[in-house]
Structure 1
Amino acid sequence: MSSVASVALTQAVIEIEQHVATDGWNQRPRMFALTPTADLLATQPRMAAALGITDEAAQAGGIPSLTSIEQEGLALNQPLDEMLAKMVWPPAVTGCALVIESQMLPPSAEEQIPEGLEGAALERWVGQHPERHDVRMAVGVLRDGTRQAAIRLRSKDSDMEVLSGPDLVPNLAEALLGTFEE
């Protein structure tokens, strides 16, 4: 994985999270395909133009090196892991990003989880816990294994408070990388 790919993915994931944040909280999961902007300009000039990406902007350095394209029609009537297991990307897609909202507990509260609690019952328990944090997670990966995440806490709902890093949501990153396996 190159540092150029890592920087491009970091920029894309943060921009995606900020884009989704403009629609507020309590959103459904949202998936984005990531493609090199130069490839999009060359192979899909109409789509690029519709997204406001032009050769002039590229020459002026005014476009990102990765372009995100939101995917409509996700099968949200099934668990996320099942949806991701069925997902396949065409070769032109070099990466993807998923934005989901969830609830997290601090490690001290995780020790309080009643033994054997799973699934919907666990979600209800976490949702009622006084120490829970509502979070929005944007996780992106590239085919080469590069990964990045951006996390926004509802209690600190500001672009300046978004945390980012490659290893913040490792299980989701692995699941997204699995969508590129042949």
Structure 2
Amino acid sequence: MDIESLGVNPDHVALARAVSEIELEVAQLGWDRPSTVYALVPSSTILADPAGLPAAIRQDLEAQVQAFPNHLTAILQEELPGQRIEESLGYLSWPEQVVGMAVSMERVSVPPEAEKDAPSDPDAAISYYATHPDRQEFRIVAGVLRDGQSWSAIRSRDLDDPDKVAQASDLVPDLTAALLATFTDEEE
């Protein structure tokens, strides 16, 4: 799906652009990378704070905002609680200026018939899936905005090409629901 086909909702276009940019940057780092989490902040908010931005980054960001006022900046979150991304999501909460979040993760998929032969021991199961001859490996980058909009990009290791990245709003609904939950107040 073409990002620009999202229509007139500039926030959704900004999210789709941010997810696509993250996917391209992560792809340049190669495969077998740890999961990462990003805060999505309006670039205009970052520019409003006069301190902390080197001149070259400020100029680049100003150009991005001038070309697209809803531009979002992805800020890598380096220290996360928990050892797995699924654990970390349960501990995340975001300050007001963070309007969205995204994650990048790699996953292995096997045919359903292979799952019935998987060992029950979690460590043995990981090894089983990682070495299964019919496994397929994917990189998923999913992002959400506080208002519930989502966008995802999925790249297969077998078709590792920027022109072969699947993108849409509803590719990984369980993951995007988990990401949205990080914006839910405990009172809700």
Percent identity, aligned pairs only?
36
Q: CA deviation at 1:71?
A: 1.2
Distance between the aligned counterparts of 1:49 and 1:32, measured in 2? Answer: 23
**Secondary structure of 1:25's match?**
coil
Q: CA deviation at 1:132?
A: 1.3
Structure 2 residue 159 is the aligned partner of structure 1 residue 153: no
2:53: which partner in 1?
47
2:112: which partner in 1?
110
Alignment match of 2:41 (pick from 16, 25, 35): 35
TM-score normalised over the length of structure 1: 0.85
Closer, same or farther: CA 112–104 of 1 in aligned 2, 3 Å? closer
1:124: which partner in 2?
127
Distance between the aligned counterparts of 2:123 and 2:38, measured in 1? Answer: 27
1:99: which partner in 2?
104
Closer, same or farther: CA 4–179 of 1 in aligned 2, 3 Å? same
User: Any unmatched runs of 5+ in structure 1?
Assistant: none
2:89: which partner in 1?
84
2:142: which partner in 1?
139
**Secondary structure of 1:87's match?**
coil
Distance between the aligned counterparts of 1:56 and 1:114, measured in 2? Answer: 54
2:76: which partner in 1?
70
Deviates more, 1:132-141 or 1:36-45: 36-45
User: Any unmatched runs of 5+ in structure 2?
Assistant: 1-7
Instruction: Map 1:21-32; keep pairs closer than 5 Å.
Output: 21-32=27-38
Q: What's the RMSD between the two structures over aligned residues?
A: 2.5
Q: CA deviation at 1:124?
A: 2.8
Deviates more, 1:160-169 or 1:121-130: 121-130
Distance between the aligned counterparts of 1:31 and 1:53, measured in 2? Answer: 25
Q: In structure 1, give the amino acid aligned to 2:168.
A: G
Instruction: Map 1:143-182; keep pairs closer than 5 Å.
Output: 143-182=146-185
- Answer yes or no: is the 8 Å Cα contact 1:41–1:48 preserved in 2: no
Structure 2 residue 10 is the aligned partner of structure 1 residue 15: no
- Answer yes or no: is the 8 Å Cα contact 1:137–1:152 preserved in 2: yes
1:23-51 per-position Cα deviation (integer Å, ceiling 9, x unaligned): 11111111111011112111355337463
Deviates more, 1:41-50 or 1:151-160: 41-50
TM-score normalised over the length of structure 2: 0.82
Q: CA deviation at 1:64?
A: 6.6
